[in-house]
Amino acid sequence: MDESEYPNPMVHILELSKKIGPRRPTTEKEHKAAEYIKSYYQLLGLSPTLEEFKAPSTFSWGYILLFGLFIFAFLLYPVYIIVATCISFIALVIFLIEGSSKISILTKLSRGKSYNVITEISPKNEVKKTIVLSGHYDSSRAAWFFNPKYVSKFRPLFLSMAISGIILPLLYLFAVIVLLGLIPAFTIPILDITALSLTWYISVIPTAFLFIGFISMILRELAYTDVPGANDNASGASIVLSLAKILSKTPLDNTKVIFVSTGSEESGMNGMMNFLKRHGKHLKDAYFINFDNLGIGNLTYVIGEGLLTTLWSDKELVCLAEKVAQAHPEWNVTPKVYKLLPTDAAPVIAQGFKAISIMSFDDKGLLPNWHWYTDVYENVEEKTVMKALKFAYELIKEIDKS
């Protein structure tokens, strides 16, 4: 494909991030972005649909509840040890379910209306394969932990909270075992502290980390505002739209392509989870390619992702991405394991589908302007976006040929 024939994704990034602006999940601006995407698909002669679903406007309130359960257990411990232990284990189970990326309990809270914008392009010949291209079009709210000064500390802080969420119920379980007489009670003579009191004093440390999370989430909702989301993720959404334009003119030979512009990703990957719930049973053999944060930095194909545990991308897709990268060394596309908040590829992989994400990172391996006020159109690099589009198109053609 000639250089001049590629559409320019910057047009869509400008529309989504600057003309429409911050697109917080379930808000009118997110709905406006969905209508823009639908209208663009119609201009291409496609037949898009808006699939409505319910989602929260933020992930903050769910985690306020989660961290609040741990803190409540801590406060309850001196009076009702067994009840406190039960509450802390309930909180831990919820935490582990959320971390799995398979399903979500917290996203059932404070739900509003959101949309997936879906269309498809049939191949020239018989359908032998299916590719699903996804990119969320909503944007996030800022927080102190997304400040570029502190964002490198985000994962260590989150891991500290996760470890604290595991330690706390285990400490309380030990106390219950002592209380029930399953192991002998003891007192530390020097400090004159019983085993039950010692357990509570030790639990102050993990509770303190969880309290930081609790306060941080409250501050995020009360003291911060939504960001324009040019890189995250007008850039990824624009790649999906640009690929739709290319393939509407030149369909693949034997591969049907489904385009899914997902809503409410920033409040818990709700759009993708809803898409899989409705359509997953028909897409068990499909190839999912997710586009996220593609406007700045070094282009990568993500071989694994996950903040707590690692969800590994499909081996076949990784091999094909590597093949395309090697065929075009001038693009300098490299593999990477992504270890921050999950993308829309996470629930796809977790539920057993074949998926990979295409993303860009700065020289420190971080997402530039991530969830911060500097994530504006002016900071997006056109050359990086164009490189991502070309790489994506070559990868799609390689899947069609393979």
Domain boundary among 202, 223, 244: 223
User: Quick one: 31 and 132 in the same domain?
Assistant: yes
**Is 372 among the domain residues?**
yes
Task: Find the CATH number of the domain harbouring 34.
Answer: 3.40.630.10
Q: For residue 256, tell me if it sits in a domain.
A: yes
Q: Count up the domains in the chain and report the number.
A: 2
Q: Which residues of the chain have pLDDT under 70?
A: 182, 185-193
Q: Are residues 354 and 233 in the same domain?
A: yes
Same domain as 397, residue 261? yes
pLDDT digits (tens, 9 = 90+) for 65-114: 999 999 999 999 999 999 999 999 999 999 998 888 888 888 877 789 99
Q: State residue 189's pLDDT score.
A: 60
Same domain, 219 and 231: no
Residue 89 within a domain: yes
131 in any annotated domain:
yes
pLDDT tens readout for residues 158-182:
999 999 999 999 999 999 998 887 6
Do 274 and 344 belong together in one domain?
yes
Structural domain includes residue 105: no
Residue 135 shares a structural domain with residue 265: yes
HEC sequence for the chain: CCHHHCCCCHHHHHHHHHHHCCCCCCCHHHHHHHHHHHHHHHHCCCCCEEEEEEEECCCHHHHHHHHHHHHHHHHHCCCCHHHHHHHHHHHHHHHHHHHHCCCCCHHHCCEEEEEEEEEEECCCCCCCEEEEEEEECCCCECCHHHCCCCHHHHHHHHHHHHHHHHHHHHHHHHHHHHHCCCCCCCEECCCCEEHHHHHHHHCHHHHHHHHHHHHHHHHHHHHCCECCCHHHHHHHHHHHHHHHHHHHHCCCCCEEEEEEEECCCCCCCHHHHHHHHHHHHHCCCCEEEEECCCCCCEEEEEEEECCCCCEECCHHHHHHHHHHHHHCHHHCCEEEEECCCCCCHHHHHHCCCEEEEEEEECCCCCCCCCCCCCCCHHHCCHHHHHHHHHHHHHHHHHHHHC
> pLDDT at position 402, please?
85
138 belongs to a structural domain: yes
Q: Examine the domain organization and report whether 376 and 294 are in the same domain.
A: yes
The pLDDT tens digits for 115-162 are 999 999 999 999 999 999 999 999 999 999 999 999 999 999 999 999
User: What pLDDT sits at residue 188?
Assistant: 62
| 127 inside domain | yes
User: Does a structural domain hold residue 335?
Assistant: yes
* Residue after which a domain boundary falls, among 170, 188, 223: 223
Examine the fold and report which residue of 223, 257, 275 is the final residue of a domain before the chain moves on: 223
- The answer to whether the pTM exceeds 0.85 is yes
- Asked if residue 271 and residue 314 are part of one domain, the reply reads yes
Same domain, 255 and 313: yes
Q: Domain span at residue 312?
A: 3-57+110-142+227-401
What's the confidence (pLDDT) of residue 106?
80
- Domain co-membership, 217 together with 327: no
| Claim to verify: residue 184 and residue 315 sit in the same structural domain | no
Q: Are residues 248 and 213 located together in one domain of the fold?
A: no
